[in-house]
């Protein structure tokens, strides 16, 4: 009696190579630096006399939200080809 074992379907070749962490980090720095600088210019006068941890408590949620919901999706949409180029 022979047993037939099902074979796994061949995995399709990836259409993109692995994302480059260096390229993604470079684009994020270029996008985040002006945003954090602008936030500091706005928040610093409004929080004069506050402790550093209090200012950070105000700025951190704004920054994280901007990165997660704004900057990262824009980078993936417009620069996905640069971050994870198609293999040759």
37-55, pLDDT tens digit by residue?
999 999 999 999 999 999 9
pLDDT tens column, 61-84: 999 999 999 999 999 999 999 898
Phi-psi map region of 50: left, alpha, beta (phi>0 left; psi -120 to 50 alpha): beta
- Does the residue 84 lie in any domain? no
Q: Please indicate, yes or no, if residue 16 is contained in any of the structural domains.
A: no
Structure tokens at 78: 């417009």
The structural domain count of the chain equals 1
Taking only the tens place, the pLDDT of each residue in 12-40 is: 455 667 888 999 999 999 999 999 999 99
Range of the domain at 55: 21-79
In a domain, residue 87? The reply is no
Domain assignment of residue 13, yes or no: no
The verdict on residue 4 lying in a domain is no
In a domain, residue 48? The reply is yes
In the 3-class helix/strand/coil scheme, how is the chain assigned residue by residue? CCCCCCCCCCCCCCCCCCCCHHHHHHHHHHHHHHHHHHHHHHHHHHCCCCCHHHHHHHHHHHHHHHHHHHHHHHHHHHHHHHHCCCCC
**pTM of the entire structure?**
0.70
26 domain residue, yes or no: yes
Q: Is residue 28 part of a domain?
A: yes
């Amino acid at each position: 009696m022979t047993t037939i074992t099902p074979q796994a379907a061949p995995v399709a070749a990836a259409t993109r190579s692995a994302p480059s962490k260096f390229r993604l980090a470079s684009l994020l720095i270029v996008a985040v630096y002006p945003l954090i600088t602008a936030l500091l210019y706005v928040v610093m006068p409004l929080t004069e006399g506050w402790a550093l941890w209090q200012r950070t408590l105000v700025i951190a949620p704004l920054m994280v939200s901007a990165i997660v919901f704004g900057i990262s999706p824009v980078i993936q949409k417009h620069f996905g080809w640069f971050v994870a180029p198609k293999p040759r």
